[in-house]
Structures are given as C-alpha cells and as structure tokens.
Amino acid sequence: MNILVINCGSSSLKFQLIDSNTEECKASGLCERIGMDESCITYKPANGEKEKKVSPMPDHKEAIRLVIEALTNEKTGALKSLSEIDAVGHRLVHGGEKFNKSVIINDEVIKAVEECNDLAPLHNPANIIGINACKALMPNVPMVGVFDTAIHQTMPAKAYLYGTPYEYYEKYGVRKYGFHGSSHSFVSKRAAELVGKSYEDCKTIVCHLGNGSSICAVENGKSVDTSMGLTPLEGLLMGTRSGDIDAGALEYIMKKENIDFKEMMTILNKKSGFLGVSGVSSDCRDVESAAADGNERAKAAMDVFFYRVAKTVGGYIAAMNGVDVIAFTAGIGENDKHTREEIMKYFGYMGIKIDAEKNSLRGEEVMISTPDSKVKVYVIPTNEELKIARETAALVK
C-alpha cells in the first residue's frame, strides 16, 4: 500500500510516501512558509535529486495540491496518478484522554480532536487544517490519525497526576500527557527485538534527545511514565525550552522583569534551554563546541542537560524496578557520542559499561554497551513516519 504520511504544522508541512509492504520511503519533502511570502516546496524522490521550488502557498490546501503534483510529476514523481495513494496517515499532536490509539479519521474524530485544541493551541488546529485539506483533494482516500500522546494513556495515575487540586484534572484535564509517542513506540519495540525479548516482557527506557527531548519508560509494552507533561515544556532541558522549573520562579521573574504571562511563556518555550543558559545557540553542536573552547555557560548548559537525563533515567529504573535496555534516539541521541558517554557515566554503580569504539559510530543502529554490561544500551535511529505508515496500513487494511 502507498501511504502518504503528513506532519502538518501551522506554516509547514512535512510529507513522506511510504510503501507499507516493503517499508521503503519512495519520496519525501517539505512545504515551508505556508501563508507567507516566498513559500517553497522541497521534494526528493527515493533515488533522485532533491528539488526546491518557490511557489505561492496561501493555504495548506494549496500545499497539499503541490505535494500531489510533485508526487505525480511525469519525470520525477514516485506515482503515476493520485489514485495510487491508498491512505493518508496524519501525525496528530494532542489527543487528550479521548484517544489511546490511532483511529480512522471521520467527522466525529475531527470534532474530538478539535475539543483537544485548548491543550495544544499551536499544533492541533494546524493538524486539522491538514486533514481538511487532504479531505478536499482526496475525498475517497481513507485517513488515519496517529497521536503523539496516545501511547502514554497507559500511564498510571501516580505518574500522570499533578499535585494541583483534583478538580482541575476533572474539569479541565490538567495532567501529564506526554509526547513523541510514535518515536517512543517505534524505538521501544525495536529495542525489545534487539535484546531478544518479547515486547510484553521487556523494561525499556527510550531517551529521545533532539531539539525537543523526552524520555519514556516502557514496561511490558506500556508507557508507564514520560518526562513531558500537559505540554512539551515539562521535563528535560531542551533546545529552547526550559524544561522543569519551580512555578514560584515564574512569579518572581515576571515581577522583576515587569513582563506578563504571555511573554513569560515565550521565554520558557523559545528563549530558554540550551539557548538561554549558554547564550550561544539552541543547537547542541554549537553549545558543545563552545563548551570545548572553555565557554563556562555552554558547559553549564550541557551539564544541566546530562544531569537531568541521568536523573530521569534513574527515576524510571526505580519506577519499573529494573531495566533491560536503554535506547538513545533522535538528533542528539543518535549522533552525539559525548552526550551518551556523559549520561551513561552516571550509571557506573549499576554496572553499565559503554564500549568507546561502538559509541563512536554515528547515526546507525548499534549496541554501545560492552558484552559484560549489566544493562544493554543501544542507539536506535527513530522513524516516526514509518511508525505512522504502519499504523495507517494496519487500520485501513
């Protein structure tokens, strides 16, 4: 089956065309600056050159039309005609407590996703725009929604409840939801396979470390805790997000800086994390190289990052009363040997040992622990689009 996987943001749209039988990505690309000047589409067929074209895209419908045009282009297209698209899989950010698995999209589902808009006001409306644009151009093609939050719906109340008045949970759904679901699910399944255990009998910790970072504890095939919360702001130090902070500090900063809550949130989401602490960049590579050159703030940013990841992994080992495998994934997790080494140093007491040579490999699936390590540690490149294509194919079959 040809599955078109769509990841729709407010002004961008990423896509991949995946053959669900061979799991091959036949083409991929990105529409940028939708609704702005100089919007452009980048398209790359599997065995061809990447092409970038400036093309007006006043809305997402036009963006999808251009995606279809590129996919069916006579010379470079991966398809002969639109009719070869068997299904569309949409990455949907927030399904609240309404969705604990992927679903075939119908009007009822769209309404329920809309009801979660308050929980993800930047992401969910954009996801729905993407769904409606596909519906308008491909009315007879089935669509599936795959939620970032769904796999975490198995968390027990002790993991998801905040210490706020219970009525906020009851009235407004204030609780931890967690994100990066497709990645945590894809990587934890693969980790169980690699250590030769059944998914239903394996304790895995997935460290998804990228521009946005989160960790997930997967016990016997179920997410039992994760570091992001009601929103992706909770947890680790990230590219531009602060991660955990004492809420009391917000009032203090707002008073001192004379800023309102909206501005405070912009600072926590866009001007904090690696960028805010180091003052160098939100990109881990820049911060690490500044730290290596002796920049103290950059070093502090990296140290906070390593420490928080290690504390979270340690906490999840306690939560599951053990761990079989720890997996690193996403931009930093897959590529940065120094980060993996520094984090794993915290677990020497547990008998976890890292093989320096294996850890030097970049961006490939590899076991980086030594054969006598008490816990196996892997790098597993994530593939969220493939996970979405698999879920989509399974539901529309």
By CB under 6 A, residue 330 contacts ligand AMP: yes
Residue 291 or 367: which CB sits closer to ligand AMP? Answer: 291
Residue 20 or 382: which CB sits closer to ligand AMP? Answer: 382
Residues in CB range of 46: below 8 A, 6 or more apart: 24, 25, 26, 27, 78
Q: Which residue has the tokens 């040992």?
A: 353
State the nearest-atom distance from the C-beta of 206 to ligand AMP, in Å. Answer: 13
Helices (H), 93-146: 107-115, 124-137
In the chain, what is the straight-line distance between the N-terminal and C-terminal CA atoms, in Å?
A: 9
Residue 207 or 224: which CB sits closer to ligand AMP? Answer: 207
Residues in CB range of 207: below 8 A, 6 or more apart: 213, 215, 309, 313, 326, 327, 328, 329, 333, 343
Look at residues 60, 22, 66 and name the one whose alpha carbon lies nearest to residue 43: 66
Catalytic position from the list 37, 148, 225, 372? 148
C-alpha 190/C-alpha 194 separation (Å) is 6
By CB under 6 A, residue 267 contacts ligand AMP: no
Q: Go through 317-344 and write b for each residue having 16 or more CB atoms within 10 A of its CB, e for each that does not.
A: bebbeebbbbbbbbbbbbbbbebbebbb
CB–CB of 144/88 below 8 Å?
A: yes
Q: Is 148 a catalytic site residue?
A: yes
By CB under 6 A, residue 211 contacts ligand AMP: yes
Phi and psi torsions of 139, nearest 5°: -60, -25
Residue choice 9, 178, 181, 239 for contact with ligand AMP (CB under 6 A)? 239
Residue 19 or 283: which CB sits closer to ligand AMP? Answer: 283
Residue choice 336, 384, 385, 391 for contact with ligand AMP (CB under 6 A)? 336
Residue choice 51, 84, 97, 283 for contact with ligand AMP (CB under 6 A)? 283
State the nearest-atom distance from the C-beta of 72 to ligand AMP, in Å. Answer: 29
By CB under 6 A, residue 77 contacts ligand AMP: no
By CB under 6 A, residue 331 contacts ligand AMP: yes
State the nearest-atom distance from the C-beta of 287 to ligand AMP, in Å. Answer: 8
State the nearest-atom distance from the C-beta of 338 to ligand AMP, in Å. Answer: 8
CA dihedral 265, 223, 342, 234 (to 10 degrees): 10
C-alpha 370/C-alpha 376 separation (Å) is 8
Total residues contacting ligand AMP by CB under 6 A comes to 11
Residue 160 or 186: which CB sits closer to ligand AMP? Answer: 186
Give the binding site for ligand AMP (CB under 6 A). Answer: 210-211, 239, 283-285, 330-332, 335-336
Which residues are tagged catalytic?
148
